[in-house]
Amino acid sequence: MATRLSTTARNAAADAVVDLLDAGSGPAIVEIRTGTQPTTANDTATGTLLATLTLADPAYGSASSGAATMASTPRTATGVAAGTAGWFRMKDSAGNTVLDGSVTATGGGGQLELATTSISVGLTVEVTAGTVTMPAG
């Protein structure tokens, strides 16, 4: 039988994950990268680093219906390399990896949505939305 979580449990799990981003003395960061997301968030980051974005502190609001929404969007960074965004890695202020996820253009359904996934050196990268969602099961 499959494990199924109540909404209360999903909210608690999402809140616990995003609370890890707020550990440490400063805000969390997001690395936006090219290519395919590694198999696990414990694996070495792959692809070219396109931009590093600083999140609000706290990074996410409280979860509802199993999903926590990124605070203070849109957020911006500057492109440090050219390429197409394929995935992201989020780290706490001490540089500890918390989670990886998919990147899409706004409305594309990724855990991180950008105004455009085509990133250029020196130009603004705009994050329009971000979510951390715990499945019901």
Structure-token pair, residue 87: 């995935």
Return all residues near 75 (Cβ < 8 A) that are at least 6 apart: 53, 54, 55, 56, 126, 127
Cα separation, 85 vs 103, in Å, equals 6
Cα separation, 74 vs 56, in Å, equals 11
Q: Report the share of the chain in percent with pLDDT over 90.
A: 95
- Confidence class for position 76, pLDDT limits 50, 70, 90: very high
Whether the per-residue pLDDT at 137 is higher than 90: the answer is no
Kindly report the pTM of this predicted structure: 0.95
- Confidence class for position 38, pLDDT limits 50, 70, 90: very high
Residue 55, H or E segment:
none
Cα separation, 51 vs 121, in Å, equals 9
Residue 72 β-bridge partners: none
| Contact (Cβ atoms closer than 8 angstroms) between residue 37 and residue 101 | yes
Cα separation, 42 vs 97, in Å, equals 8
